[in-house]
Structure 1
Amino acid sequence: MSNRAALESVLPYVREWVSYKVWQLRVPGVQVAIGYRGEELFSEAWGYADVEAGRRLTTSDLFRIASHSKTFTATALLQLAERGSLRLDDTVGTYVPALVDGGSPLADVTVRELMEMGAGVIRDGHDGDYWSQLRAFPDEAELLALVLDRGQKVPAGSSFNYSNLGYSLLGLVIAAVSGKSYNEYVRAEITEPLGLTNTGPDWDPSRADDFVVGYSGFHTARTRHRLDHVDTRAMAAATGFHGTASDLVRYFSAHVIGQGTLLDDHSKRLAQRTAWRSADTAGPKGYGAGFITEQINGREVRGHSGGFPGHITQSLFDPASGLVVSVLTSAASGPATLLATGIVQLLDAAADEHAEGTPIPADVDADTFTGRFANPWGVTDVARIGERLLEIDPTAPAPLESPTRLEVVDADTLRMTHGSRFASVDEDVTYDRGTDGTVRAIRGGGGMTSEPWSIPEETPEVAAGLA
């Protein structure tokens, strides 16, 4: 089986797993897109764009993708550097003279240090209540005031410090160098050339009806409430962007080494190498120049997450293989990272020719075994993952947290061959079928019967956690 065929073989279960997580976690709306080597393999939406109105979510509805904006900002700066319009080691004060006039030590940090989050800039200012929608996001004058008010908390080059204000300053650099506003530049040089018709640098009131409503989380209440969209003004370069999962797959595909025309491969490597680790000790997650770097199952991935009032998003891509996954959710604390990581794990497992377990025989129709089953003790998925059948617990945070591998014994029997021996490894799963072959029940772990189960129909308010 080719790598692409292996990835495509697991997409039906990706759909089933995501569907369950959306229902289990009562997420108002979720978009998922998956790409491979520049082609979109999967694009789907679950839930509602507007719960109260009963408006179903589609794959073209717009989410606020927040800190994904930083990748667009870094891309713009690298474009300008490739053209000789600036050098990454230029000081920021060269392009933002207000820092020099205000006596800020940030005037002497470099563009590169800001891009890599190594300039020591305070994260959101000493008054960051615009994030809680208690006041408007700052305009340029207010942004500079926030930065000039003790805006450097540690010396440049001393440590990694994630900063929205730092990336907002980079938006001013792009405007100064290009002679266009930040928003005009990224439209002209990034979104329009790629044909990203559903992606833009900030709130677009002319498309208000296309935007997904964002909702609060469950951390202080049992029910969600809606949150308004706002313009991020001078902070668009850090957090303003909107988009769709499909557009983000196309965009990040252009950042794969050897693909696309946004940047040359040298610039991509500069952006995607790990400049800092996210903690004082070595760990799997770090930061490049506008891109988060991490490992999933030993696979090196790049991308970015995003958090906006009512929207949590995550995109991951493998710069070597061309695999791209984007997940957008419309709730505070939405499970975007959980879903994106789980999807990558499922795709990797499907493509692993050397995985434990026995491949499905060529003359066996795996669909006669797959399905979702439940009893009072839990829910079990029998799923095709590449060339193998696995028993998966969809209630767990990760789909492959503790799978059981299954071997086909005969038309009505699977054997549990690999898995936790606290469970029922080396025992059988038997199928009870009707005269038409439909599965009526299975008897598996602990000798218990489980029956086919599907997600129940619910009102939009109940499904999304508003009631």
Structure 2
Amino acid sequence: MDDAADQGRSRPRPLPAAAPGWVWPVALAVGAVAAVLAYLLAPVAPPPPPTLTGHNALAEDVAAVVDPRDVQGLVVARFPVDAPDAVEFARAGTEDGAVAVDQETLFETGSLFKTVTAMTLADMVEKGETSLDRTLVEVFPDAVFADPDVAGATLEDLATHHSGLPTLPAGDPLYGYVIAPVILTDPFAGAPPPVEALATTTADRPGEFQYSNLGFSVLGAALAAESGTPYPELVAERVLEPLGMDDTVVGVPGGGAVPHAVPGARTEPWRDTDYAPAGSGTWSTPADLTRYLTAVADGTAPGMSALEPVYEGIPDPRGGADDFALGLAWFTVDVPGVGPVTRHAGDTFGTSTMLALDGARGVVVMSNAQSVDSMELAYELLKEDPRPLADTPPTPVAVAATVMTAVPPVLLLSLMLRRRTLLTQRPLDRLRVVSLSLGSLSWLVAGQRAGDWTWAPLALWALAVGAAAAGVTVGVWHLRRAPTENGRRRWLHVPVFVLSVVFSLTLGSLMLWGLVAAYG
């Protein structure tokens, strides 16, 4: 009866017995070994900054612009428009930490492949095989449309991002917009085929510019339907083969430059080739893209009408000061210090690419680390006097994951040392040992998946692993001796414990999923 009455009282609870003297040396030894192994075996570890090689003038310009600490693998090409055969290449870094990149290395293209889709459309229009004002309901008369505005969208609307379609299919937005960018996996994984997605997707502000991967994927499916040829074969026949782009492929190749968020931090390649017309699962080499851009520069590429502006004065959706013109996929923007530049960039969660062309020069950039700003690098390389790019701070997610790597292990170790929590001064019990141990492990995994170890020393993560291992070792001793629940308010402590465990298991599982997808 007295024990039952005490449950509702708010009075200090006794501290459990301290661990005997031999436990701490064992825990510290376990922690030291764990820290050393973590530092040596960490899957995410930045490589040494690479050295640029290649044509001296271009290599010097790239070195003046890019911080080598941002480079995993980087290949850049530059050529004069009036002499497109006089191509310079510069390169630095590796595909995967071991194999050096060069102009024949395959990289993910990302969205710059939209220009190939657009050139294919333009070529078909020029040959009378379709028209820009063909609507989706005319191309797909048997398709189910959730929105008449989508059914009435034209091929031109799709090719100029004016259809109103979102960038990803309707459905569960949590994975594509939140989970995939955090754990760095393929955002199209599990998405329905583009035309099927129209049965559940509505348009938002049709007739206004709204960048859409889904729209371009539907466009690719429409071109395949109009021609009777599957999309991969269609773009090969119309654009790739005529230009000698023999190494450019739709589908993840057996080798190539592994994508990285930052140097040393691999990400999962985008594999869903249903969305290849938008740049998912498309790979090319710097040499192939240079062939492509030189043909665009001299006007011999198929579908050159794709570069003719359809819209002028579109406000920059990123809030930039300058408006831009838009053809079929191709953007034209006035770059300070350069002038009008026709361009298209491509980004996945681990690749950054760029095609840029002004009246004097063309530039191709391919990087297998998203930490390289390929667009700004290309702009600088078009200038006579390139300047260093401003340092780009790590994303808030990366900062949070990096910092939080250390916090739970410190809280766990403090609990073991003091036998009470650091912040709330609650006595040690089994629930707290379990919740803080799971929290430490989940944030350690999160630090590896979503942290940025080019910004913070990897030794921080290794020390956090050591602290967690030491804390867990002492916690194992306490689990057999401490009370199960030693809180003042059991009615609150138990639900909080459950929520903490669910959060830790969810976080750890998601981050482990991202690591396995990238390194498995």
Moved more, 296-305 or 99-108: 99-108
Within 5 Å, which residues of 2 pair with 1:96-107?
96-97=140-141, 99-100=143-144, 102-107=146-151
Q: Equivalent residue of 1:165, what SS?
A: helix
Contact map agreement 1:255 1:263 (CA 8 A) in 2: no
Measure, in 2, the Cα distance between the counterparts of 1:12 and 1:43.
Answer: 9
Within 5 Å, which residues of 2 pair with 1:162-201?
162-201=211-250
Contact map agreement 1:255 1:268 (CA 8 A) in 2: no
Measure, in 2, the Cα distance between the counterparts of 1:125 and 1:141.
Answer: 8
Greater relative contact order (Cα < 8 A, sep 6+): 2
Which residue of the other structure, out of 260, 275, 278, is the alignment partner of 2:316?
278
How many residues are matched?
A: 333
Shift of the 393–252 alpha-carbon distance from structure 1 to 2, 3 Å rule, reads closer
Measure, in 2, the Cα distance between the counterparts of 1:464 and 1:187.
Answer: 41
Contact map agreement 1:98 1:144 (CA 8 A) in 2: no
Within 5 Å, which residues of 2 pair with 1:310-459?
310-318=350-358, 320-321=359-360, 323-346=361-384, 394=388
**Residue 194 of structure 2: aligned partner:** 143
Contact map agreement 1:138 1:235 (CA 8 A) in 2: no
> CA RMSD, aligned part only?
3.2
**Residue 500 of structure 2: aligned partner:** none
Letter in 2 for 1:302: T
1:199 shift after superposition: 1.5
Contact map agreement 1:275 1:288 (CA 8 A) in 2: no
Q: Equivalent residue of 2:381, what SS?
A: helix
1:260 shift after superposition: 0.8
The answer on 1:214 being equivalent to 2:245 is no
Where does structure 2 lack aligned partners over 5 or more consecutive residues? 1-54, 393-452, 459-520
Per-residue CA deviations over 1:50-85 (Å, capped at 9, x if unaligned) read: 11xx21112211110110111001101111101111
* Length-normalised TM-score, structure 2: 0.58
**Residue 435 of structure 1: aligned partner:** none
Contact map agreement 1:278 1:286 (CA 8 A) in 2: no
1:165 shift after superposition: 0.4
Q: Equivalent residue of 1:215, what SS?
A: coil
**Residue 57 of structure 1: aligned partner:** 101
Within 5 Å, which residues of 2 pair with 1:261-300?
261-263=301-303, 267-270=305-308, 274=312, 276-279=314-317, 283-296=322-335, 297-300=337-340
**Residue 15 of structure 1: aligned partner:** 59
* Length-normalised TM-score, structure 1: 0.64
Shift of the 271–254 alpha-carbon distance from structure 1 to 2, 3 Å rule, reads farther
Letter in 1 for 2:167: R
Measure, in 2, the Cα distance between the counterparts of 1:40 and 1:274.
Answer: 33
Contact map agreement 2:363 2:382 (CA 8 A) in 1: yes
Q: Equivalent residue of 2:269, what SS?
A: coil
Measure, in 2, the Cα distance between the counterparts of 1:236 and 1:259.
Answer: 25
Q: Equivalent residue of 1:49, what SS?
A: coil
Where does structure 1 lack aligned partners over 5 or more consecutive residues? 1-10, 218-222, 350-391, 399-461
The answer on 1:252 being equivalent to 2:303 is no
**Residue 434 of structure 1: aligned partner:** none
Structure showing greater Rg: 2
Normalized per residue, the structure richer in strand is 1
Q: Equivalent residue of 1:148, what SS?
A: coil
Measure, in 2, the Cα distance between the counterparts of 1:262 and 1:172.
Answer: 19
Moved more, 278-287 or 28-37: 278-287
1:107 shift after superposition: 0.9
